[in-house]
């Protein structure tokens, strides 16, 4: 609920549970009731924070606008000139557009607040320089108030192969500021910043979450003043002097997304419905070649892998790094986007033809934003490497950043990608981005990458793109406006992936999270795990395979084929369903699942992440089902025989059990005492 009365910028009266029957009189009363008292040693008129916080109103927190005009006009106070309201109708949300200005500072501000039909709020601002001189903008963030009941914060950090690692803390006085300065979203990005009631979990406690939909430098923050006023917000993080507005020029912020929920699951469900809007289509089973062959590209070996992929039921074959000129390792070749004639004298055509003959479409790995100094491109155009005026940044992974702000570099990359997609009728690009940007012009580079993807998609409407960035270092709703899925992590160790996917799903629905079955011994951790754990983890994402299937035994391939068949049988409803996660007192035992949209069936996974604290794990509650329906719950093959310490199994496991949805949610079922790193699949069907 917004208060747009008076000359000041809108302020939020309420952000939380719906108030569906509130009348105009109720809203007016709420506005009056929300005004604070005047207290000693404070402003005569208490400050109220707007969606773009203004110090000139007496707000002592982070300013919404940071900037100046040659040391002046650093504290604008906007006066609203027009408020436009577009009500889409009951249950469809609505939009408020506000135009405000500060004539003295020579600035105008346009605000767009879009409450989507799924209950997610999108906010964006446009700042325009209306004066005759230049204006330097150092930052523009948007913020939303949260109530005093929000006493805890959850956000994320991480590193390569351990992305989206949760961290919780008290929401106390001061600012909790998470700045991403890596030139991409980052493995350590705050991802979603959540303020919530004490002890909130997946199924309990009110939560208020924000996400900045931007793939470059960004800021997400939570702030509580001694007055008790508290906000969460964010925006793009601008470098000094990166945005200077000429007379009449403007700057537009990325979208800032916000959602409320009773528990993290309800908040996540709102984000999922938003991201799913306008998306559809089947999610094919992928075989990717990286962990199968690495840089060792040999037509005979790859052809055998194609045949093995078809045998287990794959529908898409993706050729990873190593196919282009001079590429034998990661030290050379980036930028030379031509098929290596020495390795591929007939181009990729023999491989692509074999892929299509076996009933699969073809995908290709690229890293268009990067260049190796050891490449024909860098030797011919050293000025295309992104650098400051006096030096190049330090190399990382033997590569530098290709300056796509330069028209010539941008057009070269667009032409090469376009030519490859056309020649080989490529269905899918694994678009990688393997280094942070150092000493870089991030703002314009990010916009150039967006334009590049948009133009390529416009030329090839059926092309799908995966956002891969050293694994999961570019996962945000800005990149997902022009891509079809993300690679959540380079780590496909089953246990690590359980955690990574658990928290990535706070924002993204499972079908947008690439999840692959690797070899028994994990490439990144060295752990050896059962196929049931590896495949059962991938089942709850966009299922794929990253394994040298030619080295797998016939028994392993047969079991993998059963998992592929299960995915194909269930993906139609899994990829439209509701993600559900239970709060269990033993942190070693996780239960999560997906409930079909009609709530007639569900698939749940019980995972022993480690050894349990007790001999008997006790009951696991299975939430999210219709409380009035009766359901049949039973183990599902091939995930029905995990390792266990039980001498005799739980009696209900043999034939399953029929109970109501309410009993499953409130009482639960006795869980088997699983060995660590074991997974049990449960299929729930309407009885």
Give me the catalytic one of 3, 432, 493, 548: 432
Indicate if 24 belongs to the active site: no
**Element at 342 (helix H, strand E):** none
Cα–Cα distance for residue pair 469/435, rounded to 1 Å: 8
Q: Who contacts 559 (Cβ-Cβ below 8 Å, separation ≥6)?
A: 531, 535, 638
Indicate if 432 belongs to the active site: yes
Give me the catalytic one of 155, 490, 493, 548: 490
Judged on CB neighbours under 10 Å (0-12, 13-18, 19+), 39 is exposed
Q: Who contacts 330 (Cβ-Cβ below 8 Å, separation ≥6)?
A: 321, 397, 398, 399
Cα–Cα distance for residue pair 91/95, rounded to 1 Å: 13
3-state secondary structure of 530: coil
Cα–Cα distance for residue pair 36/43, rounded to 1 Å: 11
Cα–Cα distance for residue pair 253/8, rounded to 1 Å: 20
Residues 307, 358 contacting (CB under 8 angstroms): yes
Q: Who contacts 557 (Cβ-Cβ below 8 Å, separation ≥6)?
A: 308, 311, 312, 549
Residues 373, 400 contacting (CB under 8 angstroms): yes
First to last CA, the chain: 43
Residue 267's alpha-carbon distances to 176, 194, 274, 458, 651, in angstroms, are 21, 10, 11, 33, 36
CA contacts within 13 A on the Cβ side of 497? 35
Write out the catalytic residue numbers.
Answer: 432, 490
């Amino acid at each position: 609920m917004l208060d747009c009365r008076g000359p000041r910028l809108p302020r939020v009266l309420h952000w939380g549970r719906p108030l569906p029957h509130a009348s105009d009189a109720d809203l007016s009363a709420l506005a009056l009731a929300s005004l604070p008292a005047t207290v000693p040693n404070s402003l005569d008129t208490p400050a109220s924070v707007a969606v773009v916080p203004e110090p000139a109103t007496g707000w002592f927190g982070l300013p919404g606008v940071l900037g100046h005009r040659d040391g002046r006009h650093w504290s604008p106070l906007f006066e609203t000139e027009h408020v436009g309201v577009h009500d889409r109708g009951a249950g469809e949300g609505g939009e408020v557009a506000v135009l405000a200005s500060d004539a003295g500072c020579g600035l105008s501000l346009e605000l767009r607040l879009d409450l989507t039909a799924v209950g997610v709020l999108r906010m964006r601002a446009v700042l325009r320089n209306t004066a005759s001189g230049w204006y330097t903008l150092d930052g523009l963030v948007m913020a939303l108030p949260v109530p005093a009941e929000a006493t805890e914060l959850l956000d994320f950090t991480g590193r390569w192969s351990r992305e989206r690692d949760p961290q919780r803390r008290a929401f106390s006085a001061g600012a909790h500021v998470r700045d991403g300065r890596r030139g991409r979203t980052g493995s350590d990005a705050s991802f979603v910043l959540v303020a919530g009631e004490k002890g909130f979990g997946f199924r309990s406690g009110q939560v208020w979450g924000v996400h900045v939909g931007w793939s470059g430098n960004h800021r997400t923050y939570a702030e509580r003043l001694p007055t008790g006023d508290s906000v969460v917000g964010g925006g793009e993080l601008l470098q000094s002097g990166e945005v200077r507005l000429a007379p009449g020029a403007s700057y537009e912020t990325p979208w800032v997304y916000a959602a409320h929920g009773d528990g993290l699951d309800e908040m996540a469900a709102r984000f999922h419905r938003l991201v799913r809007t306008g998306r559809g289509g089947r999610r094919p089973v992928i075989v990717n070649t990286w962990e199968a062959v690495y840089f060792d590209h040999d037509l005979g070996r790859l052809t055998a892998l194609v045949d093995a992929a078809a045998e287990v039921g794959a529908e898409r074959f993706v050729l990873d790094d190593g196919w282009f000129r001079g590429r034998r390792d990661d030290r050379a070749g980036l930028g030379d986007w031509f098929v290596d004639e020495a390795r591929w004298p007939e181009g990729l055509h023999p491989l692509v033809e074999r892929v299509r003959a076996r009933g699969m479409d073809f995908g290709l790995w690229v890293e268009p934003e990067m260049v190796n100094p050891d490449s024909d491109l860098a030797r011919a155009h050293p000025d295309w490497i992104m650098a400051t005026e006096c030096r190049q940044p330090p190399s990382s992974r033997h590569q530098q950043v290709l300056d796509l702000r330069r028209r010539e570099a941008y057009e070269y990359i667009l032409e090469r990608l376009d030519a490859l997609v056309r020649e080989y009728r490529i269905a899918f690009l694994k678009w990688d981005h393997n280094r942070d940007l150092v000493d870089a012009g991030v703002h314009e580079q990010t916009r150039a990458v967006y334009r590049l993807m948009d133009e390529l998609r416009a030329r090839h409407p059926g092309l799908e793109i995966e956002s891969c960035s050293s694994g999961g270092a570019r996962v945000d709703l800005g990149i997902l406006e022009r891509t079809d899925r993300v690679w959540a992590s380079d780590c496909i160790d089953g246990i690590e992936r359980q955690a990574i996917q658990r928290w990535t799903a706070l924002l993204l629905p499972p079908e947008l999270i690439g999840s692959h079955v690797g070899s028994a011994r994990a490439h990144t951790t060295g752990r050896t795990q059962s196929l049931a754990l590896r495949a059962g983890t991938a089942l709850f994402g966009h299922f794929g395979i990253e394994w040298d299937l030619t080295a797998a035994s016939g028994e392993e391939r047969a079991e993998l084929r059963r998992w592929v068949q299960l995915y194909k049988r269930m993906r139609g409803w899994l990829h439209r369903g509701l993600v559900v996660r239970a709060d269990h007192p033993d942190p070693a035992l996780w239960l999560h699942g997906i409930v079909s949209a009609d709530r007639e069936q569900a698939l749940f996974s019980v995972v022993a992440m480690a050894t349990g604290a007790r001999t008997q794990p006790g009951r696991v509650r299975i939430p999210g089902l219709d409380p009035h329906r009766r359901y049949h719950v039973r183990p599902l093959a091939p995930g029905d025989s995990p390792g266990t310490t039980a001498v005799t199994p739980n009696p209900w496991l043999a034939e399953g059990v029929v109970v109501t949805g309410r009993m499953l949610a409130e009482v639960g079922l006795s869980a088997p005492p699983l060995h660590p790193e074991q997974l049990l699949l449960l299929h729930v069907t309407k009885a």
